[in-house]
Amino acid sequence: MTNCLEVNNLGLSIRNEVILNNISFQVPSGKITALVGHNGAGKSTTMKAIMGWQEKSEGEIKIKGISQDDDFLQFKTLFSYIPEEPLLMSELTVEQHFQLYGSSYLVSEQELKEKITYYTEAFDIRDKRNEFPELLSKGMRQKVQTICALIPDVPLLLIDEPFMGLDIYAAQFLMEELAKKKENGTSILITTHQLEKVTDLCDEFVLLSNGQIAESGQITGFNGLKRRKIDE
Ligand SMILES: Nc1ncnc2c1ncn2[C@@H]1O[C@H](COP(=O)(O)OP(=O)(O)OP(=O)(O)O)[C@@H](O)[C@H]1O
């Protein structure tokens, strides 16, 4: 089985403090991996290091064999990201956000049009396409951000807390959509505190503790998070 994402010996320090140490894991093509751990374990920092938002100190990160260090411009076209909190631009309308993502990922005009119609109907925000983000509720902004990441057919989807702020219908639709993407060969890395919601969807898990991998394997073998001991 080929790997879509390969993280090898990732280390990351911020102001001389070690945040991530010797992290190695893979996400095979067409599989979903859950990145789990207590608050502060290093999940979001791992995501940021993969995307190149936070500079790593050590190690190598590859998507589809392309190293982040060798060809960052090409590397960036291979993933899209759904952040935990929406990061929309106040000067762009909802529609302009979709257009921006479509052109950044070279989605054809026809395909973009179809996807915008499909996703805005599914997420029930069709009437918000010409609004600016500040006039939307937080959940609506999260829907817009989610649609932006779903528009391109990239090999790797990175998702920080997928259901945060979404109502049950939107969360259910997203779950089905992720299952479809996986079926079509997309690999997905999800960080979540609500593992019970995604257990059926995920294939593997990586458990982080204090910036290191404590355990990893098939999701069926995951025993849940234990309460953190005071001296850990
Ligand atoms: N910019 C930063 N400067 C200094 N320390 C940071 C910075 N970003 C994160 N950290 C530290 O790195 C560690 C890991 O943080 P991270 O946000 O990756 O955890 P997490 O597993 O995503 O947590 P949560 O479940 O709460 O979102 C924490 O100790 C945090 O304080």
Q: What is the pLDDT of residues 172-204, one digit of tens each?
A: 999 999 999 999 999 999 998 878 778 888 999
Alpha carbon of 135 to ligand 1 centroid (Å): 30
Nearest to 24 by CA among 41, 38, 11, 12: 11
C-alpha to C-alpha distance for 225 and 152, rounded to whole angstroms: 34
pLDDT digits (tens, 9 = 90+) for 43-58: 999 999 999 999 999 9
Nearest alpha carbon, ligand 1 atom 7: 14
pLDDT recorded at residue 148: 96
Nearest to 31 by CA among 203, 190, 176: 203
Q: What atom in ligand 1 is closest to the CA of residue 47? A: 18
C-alpha to C-alpha distance for 10 and 7, rounded to whole angstroms: 6
Helix (H) or strand (E) holding 162: none
Neighbouring CB atoms inside 10 A of 134's CB total 8
Nearest alpha carbon, ligand 1 atom 13: 40
Kindly give the interhelix angle for 109-122 and 94-104, rounded to the nearest 10 degrees. Answer: 140
Q: What atom in ligand 1 is closest to the CA of residue 191? A: 22
Q: Indicate if ligand 1 lies below 6 Å from the C-beta of 43.
A: yes
Nearest alpha carbon, ligand 1 atom 4: 14
**pTM for the model:** 0.92
ipTM: 0.96
Alpha-carbon Rg of the chain, whole angstroms?
18
pLDDT digits (tens, 9 = 90+) for 130-157: 999 999 999 999 999 999 999 999 999 9
Alpha carbon of 106 to ligand 1 centroid (Å): 33
Q: Is the pLDDT of residue 118 over 60?
A: yes
Helix segments in the chain, DSSP class H: 43-51, 72-76, 94-104, 109-122, 138-150, 168-183, 195-198
